[in-house]
Structure 1
């Protein structure tokens, strides 16, 4: 006489008769469930390892503020680094003012460059000879300026800091990255703050 399936009063599930085929099916289901559980745990462990590394990853880049130093007898009317506005700089001056920003790699690379665009100019006559004119008249008659552009290498740096643009005589440009002000003994340029040459007697 065939055995009827039994119903569990607790779970409401049917119990199948204990036959070799049913035992094999139950074993296969148990092994499949174990494999799925192992896969889920491995995936979770991978996510946890990625999200919480034992050592924090170093940032690949940083935002560097822009500042400039002018070593020439002309005023820098405005300048841009990779299209980002710097400021204006009086002759033999600069520093102090920082604008935002360029993105630089955390680790210096030998082929690292920036494009610097700038407008530089000077008065062609002494103030005494033009002071009777309005500002616009003075600019029209007695001021000359040049618009220049150069792609320049960034000098080697070891860590982040402000991007410092040096405007040098002969329309030369140098670019440093440093947290030190110009004139500090640890500044990578080794240069002093720009000074106006003494007037000739």
Structure 2
């Protein structure tokens, strides 16, 4: 559970595997948030892990993950068609 107020030293440790044999771990700073929401974790195509707190769903036009890192596949549009402006 996230605290109600952000603090500069907030971090989360993420552990994952893609094959049940090789495990990876990353400690990631939680960026500033103004209101409590869900902790979103994204594994980017370049191997980085990105986290942030949001009340929006993936595919919403204002979702915090934007730009070329957002789509699962290069060139795909991550905004759900029914949510596009």
Q: Tell me, yes or no, whether TM beats 0.5.
A: yes
Query: By how many angstroms is 1:157 displaced?
Result: 1.3
User: Are the structure 2 counterparts of residues 196 and 145 from structure 1 closer, same or farther at C-alpha, using a change threshold of 3 Å?
Assistant: farther
1:146 corresponds in structure 2 to: 22
Higher Rg: 1
Query: By how many angstroms is 1:109 displaced?
Result: 1.3
Aligned alpha-carbon RMSD (Å): 2.5
In structure 2, list runs of 5 or more residues that go unmatched: 76-85
Pairing 1:37-116 to 2, within 5 Å after superposition: 103-116=1-14
Q: Residues 117 and 147 of structure 1 are in contact (CA less than 8 Å); yes or no, is this contact kept in structure 2?
A: yes
CA distance in 1, matches of 2:34, 2:13: 21
Query: By how many angstroms is 1:177 displaced?
Result: 0.9
Query: By how many angstroms is 1:193 displaced?
Result: 5.4
1:157 corresponds in structure 2 to: 33
Number of residue-to-residue matches in the alignment: 74
Question: Which has the larger helix fraction?
Answer: 1
Query: Which gives a bigger RCO, structure 1 or 2 (Cα 8 Å, sep 6+)?
Result: 2
Q: Residues 182 and 193 of structure 1 are in contact (CA less than 8 Å); yes or no, is this contact kept in structure 2?
A: no
DSSP-derived class of the 2:22 partner = strand
Q: Deviations over 1:157-200 (max 9, x none)?
A: 111111110101242101011110123233233358524247xx
Q: TM-score, normalised by structure 1?
A: 0.32
Q: TM-score, normalised by structure 2?
A: 0.68
